[in-house]
Structure 1
Amino acid sequence: MKVSGYAARSSSEPLAPFSFERRTPRANDVSIDILYCGVCHSDLHHARNDWGSTLYPCVPGHEIVGRVSAVGSDVRRFNIGDSVAVGCMVDSCQVCDQCHQGNEQYCRQGNTMTYGGRDRVDGSQTFGGYAKHIVVREEFVLQVPKNLDLARVAPLVCAGITAYSPLREWGIGPGSRVAVIGMGGLGHMGIKLAVGLGAHVTVISRSRDKESDALELGADAFLVSGDDKSMVKKRSSFDFILDTVPVKHDVNIYTPLLDIDATLVMVGQLGPLSEPSTLPMIFGRRRIAGSLIGGIEQTQELLDFCGRMNILPETEAICMEDINTAYERMEASDVRYRFVVDMGVFS
């Protein structure tokens, strides 16, 4: 099937219209007309080959919301017309211990990424959601709760699950003392989800510029990392810290804020950090850990939770033709808090 989309053809070229072939649907496939696609910072990194692994041409997009247009003969969970979502993965081996535990993101053979990967059956390159249509195996398609606004759902299946998975894995709930570092696309979802889970939430930022926004998102308190007296006062105050900062930074100012046996989880920066000191970890039995999205079952759990709690990301709608401007604005942190491409205005 010939599909229209937008692609980067090299690391130095802007994204431009691109026509390509989607693979022929198989018996266990769901065909989806894409309605909305979120714009993730990872899209920009891949388009520009910042991580050195991009396959060109690259059609980004792994925050996909659409409507089922056809199903294969073996598909049982979806019907034509269903509102569905697709996240960062479209396949995995399905047989390793991690896949059996619902951790397809940690598949021992490597999961198949929604874009920039290789199809496990025919070896073809995967292309993402900056397009009008996609074909995905049934096990990696998600049901969208009927009460959620489809125009705002897309970032849940990347930014949302990236924040939700560690909150769930570390048992965050009523009474938990949670801090969120950073308040971008990931951070603002961390705030909303931690509040939804019943935690007392503090936002940590470099200045007070975002304090009113943090409180509007549901945070209970705000802590300025540059205020030494306040930081000392808050030592040993948190059970869990979600670090969403997407660049190299110094974690040593945050680890003393953890209580004994508490954990700081990295979900933003992919790459080096400033050299961490072991002193706060040894003397407080504190931990620094990392987390990568979530499995399919947990992502469905997230969507259902957001449906019950009416939790949605804060988004700005754009048309596909404005994607390069959106990338420039993302680099300048000029978005509150996530761009979503409306495919209905993509000619």
Structure 2
Amino acid sequence: MFRGWQFIEPRAPLKLVEKEDPVPGEREVVVETRAAGLCHSDVGFMEGINASMLAFTPIIFGHEVSGTIKQLGPGVMGWEVGERVAIAGLGLDAPGLNTDGGFGEKVLAKEDLLVRIPEGVSFVQGAAATDAGQTSRKALRVGDVGAGTRVGIIGLGGLGLTAAKMAVMLGAEVHAVEINEGVWPLAVRAGVKRVVASPAELADEQLDVFVDYAGFGTTTAAAIDAVRNEGTVVQVGMGAQFATIDTTLLVAKQVRLLGSLGGSYEDTLDVLRLMKLGLEITATEIGFDEIPAGLERLKRGEVRGRLVATRGE
């Protein structure tokens, strides 16, 4: 038997339940959860937003998962019991969406979603590398951010601050936009060259790319205005459903406006590679029993970076 925090229906609290241990099928493994990230999408599901994405209900949430392999199913090759792994949840295949997830003590995972956590990288960072890390990394890839790129990162929340750190490590010249000045020192310590409160303040920089991790509509429009001619704006954040943009400006400047959602298995591998080189996603640890309270903190906007629930041996 194992315990897990189960979602029953929208606008109802999570319920702590006991379930029979999962049995791995062909090319599946059972992972004993050591860390599970809490995500704003979990809060959204609880409010009834995009709940149709869930394969079934009741379901145990938790799509950012790391732990140790507990059991191997038939046909699994190249993996051993006891290995430290993260589950690279990809879209609707992610645990917590398609199967019971990391808010439970044990998780059933497909073999081809497993990634090894490098030596020296914690379970907390391994969990954060999945959804949060891969989403941040993919958006930089969509914007062709690399060595020598001059990039503006809009929003220094969990995703944006992570992306800023990654972009610096990739050799980009990084500028950032964040209205909360309390976060600015974190960005500066990470190697960000300049932090301002509005994209308009970066118009004089003529940056190659803006990646908008906030997505409040006004930020999208301001990024189009501030980016250089023939530059790129990558939209990740969905703080507002609609944006009013100046299409004349978009066309006249020949700006590329691209959307980016989630990430790939390879993005997760790259995040873990960067972690081995020193990347650290800002994260706050809580206990397994604090998951419901943690989601309330997320809902109230009281969390800086990622919130990750951990379990001991």
| Residues in 1 aligned to 2:239 and 2:94: alpha-carbon distance in whole angstroms | 17
| Residues in 2 aligned to 1:240 and 1:70: alpha-carbon distance in whole angstroms | 45
Q: Unmatched 5+ residue regions in structure 2?
A: none
| Residues in 2 aligned to 1:144 and 1:34: alpha-carbon distance in whole angstroms | 13
3-state DSSP of counterpart to 2:5 = strand
For the Cα contact (< 8 Å) 1:46–1:60, is it kept in 2? no
For the Cα contact (< 8 Å) 1:250–1:275, is it kept in 2? no
* Map 1:53-64 → 2, pairs under 5 A: 53=52, 54=54, 55-64=56-65
Q: What is aligned with 1:96? A: none
For the Cα contact (< 8 Å) 2:142–2:260, is it kept in 1? no
Q: What is aligned with 1:344? A: 312
Q: Measured at CA, do residues 213 and 270 of structure 1 come closer, stay the same or move farther in structure 2, by a change above 3 Å? A: closer
Offset of 1:290 from its aligned partner?
Answer: 1.0
Q: Which residue identity does 1:338 align to in structure 2?
A: R
3-state DSSP of counterpart to 2:230 = strand
Q: Unmatched 5+ residue regions in structure 1?
A: 90-104, 106-110, 118-125
3-state DSSP of counterpart to 1:10 = coil
Residue of 145, 150, 158 corresponding to 1:177: 150
| Residues in 2 aligned to 1:82 and 1:170: alpha-carbon distance in whole angstroms | 34
Task: Say whether residues 1:72 and 2:73 are aligned partners.
Answer: yes
| Residues in 2 aligned to 1:84 and 1:7: alpha-carbon distance in whole angstroms | 23
| Residues in 1 aligned to 2:69 and 2:134: alpha-carbon distance in whole angstroms | 22
For the Cα contact (< 8 Å) 1:87–1:114, is it kept in 2? no
For the Cα contact (< 8 Å) 2:35–2:310, is it kept in 1? yes
Offset of 1:152 from its aligned partner?
Answer: 2.7
Q: Which residue identity does 2:118 align to in structure 1?
A: P
Task: Say whether residues 1:330 and 2:311 are aligned partners.
Answer: no
Q: What is aligned with 2:122? A: 149
| Residues in 2 aligned to 1:162 and 1:329: alpha-carbon distance in whole angstroms | 22
For the Cα contact (< 8 Å) 2:143–2:233, is it kept in 1? no
| Residues in 1 aligned to 2:107 and 2:14: alpha-carbon distance in whole angstroms | 19
Q: What is aligned with 1:13? A: 12
Q: What is aligned with 2:97? A: 116
For the Cα contact (< 8 Å) 1:153–1:312, is it kept in 2? no
For the Cα contact (< 8 Å) 1:34–1:132, is it kept in 2? yes
TM-score, structure 1 normalization: 0.83
For the Cα contact (< 8 Å) 1:38–1:63, is it kept in 2? yes
| Residues in 2 aligned to 1:45 and 1:146: alpha-carbon distance in whole angstroms | 34
For the Cα contact (< 8 Å) 2:215–2:235, is it kept in 1? no
3-state DSSP of counterpart to 2:229 = strand
* Map 1:168-317 → 2, pairs under 5 A: 168-206=141-179, 208-225=181-198, 230-234=201-205, 237-245=206-214, 249-269=218-238, 272-307=241-276, 309-317=277-285
3-state DSSP of counterpart to 2:208 = strand
Q: What is aligned with 2:82? A: 81
3-state DSSP of counterpart to 1:265 = strand
3-state DSSP of counterpart to 2:60 = coil
3-state DSSP of counterpart to 1:242 = strand
Q: Which residue identity does 2:214 align to in structure 1?
A: V
Q: What is aligned with 2:45? A: 46
| Residues in 1 aligned to 2:211 and 2:272: alpha-carbon distance in whole angstroms | 20
| Residues in 1 aligned to 2:258 and 2:304: alpha-carbon distance in whole angstroms | 27
For the Cα contact (< 8 Å) 1:47–1:60, is it kept in 2? no
Number of equivalent positions:
311
For the Cα contact (< 8 Å) 2:146–2:170, is it kept in 1? yes
**1:232-287: per-residue Cα shift (whole Å, max 9, x none)?**
534xx211111111655552112122122221111221772222221221111102
